[in-house]
Amino acid sequence: MDCDTVSKGLFVIGTGTDIGKTYVTGLLLKYLRDNGYNATYFKAALSGAIRDEDDNLVPGDAVEVLEMANLEEDTDFLVPYIYETAVSPHLASQIEGNPVDLSVVKDAYEKVSQKYDYILMEGSGGIVCPIRYEGKGNENNIMLEDIINHLGLDVIIIADAGLGTINSIVTTVEYLKNRNVHACGIIMNNYKDELMENDNIKMVEDLCDVPIIAKVYQNDINLQLDVDTKELISYFR
């Protein structure tokens, strides 16, 4: 079911954990806002939040992205489900309660869309990420692709440029295809201009037929795209 909203969205996924998905999402949002686009961040469920001095849960990923993009916004407005336990959202909600409901995510997304023209929505971990799980075959189960399809979004894949990335990217792209999710492009993080990493890029583009749209060097503070801004904007749905 597509989400009938005012704004347009693009979903950001990683090939796994700890590959810099949040960091690159921050660079993407900064790029959009620096180029005059009224864009924001959104995440359906965030686990591993920390507590501030007032004992309130703080969604660290959202804070990091907003700071990078120089955007002041209430993180509770942008992240409807926040868990303290640093595990997959399905397990965090089993421990803490308050499991994810797709209708709540959609309502929150629509509220954000009334304020912003473009929404970068960050996923949780890799694409095979259970968001809610109540047993095999249970109708309430939610996988990450269910949220993507529920909102009618296309995706950008963030991957590490180094050893092993060919398998990770090809596996991710094939999984997406099998679930009717369209991948617009791939961003290689932690890129070094070396023989193996340049060959990784060639092999990925040949095997996946999905373009590499940017290469991010370690500690980059600005995103250098290999496509023009107009093409990036065309990825939003």
pLDDT (average), residues 154-173: 97
Q: How confident is the model at residue 17 (pLDDT cuts 50, 70, 90)?
A: confident
* pLDDT for the residue 171: 97
Residue 37 lies in a domain: yes
30 is catalytic: no
Contact residues for 156 (Cβ-Cβ < 8 A; gap 6+): 10, 11, 12, 13, 28, 183, 184, 185, 186, 187, 213, 235
Residue 3 lies in a domain: no
Residue 84 lies in a domain: yes
Residue 129 lies in a domain: yes
pLDDT tens-digit series, residues 2-14: 444 468 999 999 9
- Reported pTM: 0.94
pLDDT tens-digit series, residues 33-80: 999 999 999 999 999 999 998 888 999 999 999 999 999 999 999 999
CA distance linking residue 79 with residue 59, whole number of Å: 8
Give the range of the structural domain holding residue 18, as residue numbers without chain letter. Answer: 8-234
Q: How many structural domains are present in the chain?
A: 1
Catalytic residue, chosen from 43, 106, 215, 230, is: 43
Residue 2 lies in a domain: no
